[in-house]
Each structure stands twice: as structure tokens, then as C-alpha cells.
């Protein structure tokens, strides 16, 4: 989809001499080598957190502390500048969305989504897969995908579904919350962070530009992925 949409913008040929050597992007070789074992421990921590009964956030905080201590000895990194220029507004927005979603759950708005998912499930596996995925996508594009995962999970937990249909709801929710946020700029935290970085470098992407591209790329990709989920559960699950 990306290649098809941007096919006229991608040059067929370019001068390789204009490209720098990849190693030139690494400003601190020692820190670069040290980052790999830190990331490996972090990845292992994601899997071990459940076994150790520890929150994933604790693992992430530990890795962040390790990177901070390692970066303090690097002449190529200005820690004060990084902390000062960090997108704290995005962090506050993300935390605020979790609070809002939990408030919506306490107001029993998740019951509406639960009832809607039960209706989809009553129409079979295909309807449950596509309907849940697109519902999650729309909600993610409106109120960010991180709180939407929790919001939909609370709704799915209360449904009357079981077996393969319930699996479809769970996986379709994950797929919808992964792909759906690409419709709007506020849909994903990663997009907000990238737009913040681009804005500091003088690159502005308007809501209209983002939406025109996002809607064209997301809808068919989401449809094909959810159809793949249906086929996998139907014939393999």
C-alpha cells in the first residue's frame, strides 16, 4: 500500500555518492555497543515480568536508568538538552487519556461497546473479526490507541462470547488498535512523538495532509489483515 500510494514520489534511480556511510550516524561507538545488551535485558524483562509478578513499567524504568547512566559518560550526548526538549506535553496527554477512559468505564460506556461486540459475535466469526477491528480502529483514531486497547479489553471481558469467536475479538482489537491510529495524528503516541520531532526541525504536517494519506492507506490494509485473521482462525484455529 505504501509503495502504491507513493509510487510517483519515489525516484527510480539516485546517486549513491550522496549517501553517507552508515557508521557515520553512530557518534559514540562505546554507547552503541552497550545499548545492545541493555535492550536484550529489556526484551527478556518483558517476558519475565509476568513470571516475576512485576509491572512492565518497572522493566522499562530500569532500562531507562541504565541508558541514563551510560549516556552521562558520553561526550556525544547532551542529557540536559534531551530532558529539556522531551515532549512532556505528549506524555501528559497520554496519561490524561488513560484517566478519561477509566472514567468512561466507570460511567458504564464500555457496556455500549460490549453490547455492540455481542451483536457482531452473533453474526459469526467474519463479522466479529472485521467489526471489532474497525471499531477499535475508529476509537483509536479518536482517543489514541493506548487507552483504546484497555477500553476495548474491558468491553470484551464483559461479552458473552467464548471459544474461537472470543479469540477473534481479542486479536481484532489488537490489530485495530495497531493499524487504526494511522488515520489521525492523535491516534498513536509514536505519531505524536514523530510530529513533535519533525516540528522542531521545521517540518509541518497538517491534519488534512495526514488524514488524506492515513485513510487511504489504513482502510484496505486493515480489511486485508482482519480477513487474514478470520481465515487463520477459521481454518487453522
Q: Where are the domains of the chain?
A: 26-82, 86-237
Q: Give yes or no for a contact between 87 and 198, defined as CB atoms under 8 angstroms apart.
A: no
- Annotate 204-235 with b (16+ C-beta within 10 A) or e (fewer): eeeeeebeebbeebbbeebeebbeebbeebee
Could you report the per-residue pLDDT of 107-120, keeping only the tens digit for each? 888 889 999 999 99
Q: How far is CA 55 from CA 50, 85, 149, 231, 233, in A?
A: 8, 28, 17, 34, 31
Q: pTM of the prediction?
A: 0.78
Task: Enter the C-alpha cell of residue 128.
Answer: 466479529
The pLDDT-based confidence of 190 (bands split at 50, 70, 90) is confident
- Annotate 6-45 with b (16+ C-beta within 10 A) or e (fewer): eeeeeeeeeeeeeeeeeeeeeebeebeebbeebeeebeeb
Q: Which long-range contacts (CB under 8 A, 24 or more apart) does 82-87 make?
A: 85/200, 87/192, 87/193, 87/196
Q: Return the half-sphere exposure (C-beta side, CA atoms, 13 A cut-off) of residue 92.
A: 4
Using the predicted structure, report yes or no on whether residue 151 has a pLDDT greater than 90. no
Could you report the per-residue pLDDT of 7-50, keeping only the tens digit for each? 998 888 888 888 888 888 888 888 999 999 999 999 999 999 98
The predicted model gives 127-156 an average pLDDT of: 91
Amino acid at each position: 500500500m505504501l509503495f502504491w500510494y507513493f509510487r510517483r514520489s519515489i525516484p527510480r534511480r539516485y546517486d549513491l555518492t550522496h549517501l553517507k556511510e552508515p557508521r557515520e550516524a553512530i557518534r559514540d561507538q562505546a554507547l552503541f555497543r552497550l545499548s545492545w545488551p541493555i535492550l536484550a535485558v529489556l526484551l527478556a524483562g518483558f517476558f519475565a515480568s509476568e513470571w516475576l509478578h512485576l509491572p512492565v513499567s518497572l522493566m522499562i524504568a530500569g532500562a531507562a536508568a541504565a541508558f541514563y547512566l551510560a549516556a552521562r559518560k558520553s561526550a556525544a550526548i547532551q542529557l540536559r538538552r534531551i530532558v529539556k526538549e522531551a515532549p512532556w506535553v505528549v506524555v501528559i496527554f497520554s496519561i490524561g487519556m488513560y484517566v478519561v477512559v477509566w472514567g468512561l468505564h466507570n460511567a458504564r460506556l464500555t457496556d455500549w461497546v460490549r453490547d455492540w461486540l455481542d451483536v457482531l459475535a452473533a453474526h459469526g466469526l467474519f463479522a466479529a473479526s472485521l467489526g471489532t477491528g474497525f471499531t477499535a480502529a475508529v476509537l483509536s483514531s479518536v482517543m489514541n490507541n493506548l487507552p483504546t486497547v484497555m477500553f476495548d479489553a474491558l468491553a470484551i471481558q464483559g461479552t458473552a462470547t467464548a471459544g474461537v469467536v472470543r479469540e477473534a475479538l481479542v486479536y481484532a482489537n489488537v490489530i485495530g488498535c495497531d493499524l487504526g491510529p494511522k488515520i489521525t495524528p492523535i491516534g498513536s503516541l509514536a505519531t505524536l512523538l514523530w510530529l513533535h520531532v519533525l516540528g522542531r526541525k521545521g517540518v509541518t504536517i497538517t491534519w488534512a495532509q495526514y488524514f488524506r494519506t492515513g485513510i487511504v492507506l489504513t482502510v484496505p490494509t486493515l480489511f486485508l489483515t482482519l480477513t487474514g485473521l478470520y481465515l487463520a482462525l477459521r481454518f487453522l484455529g
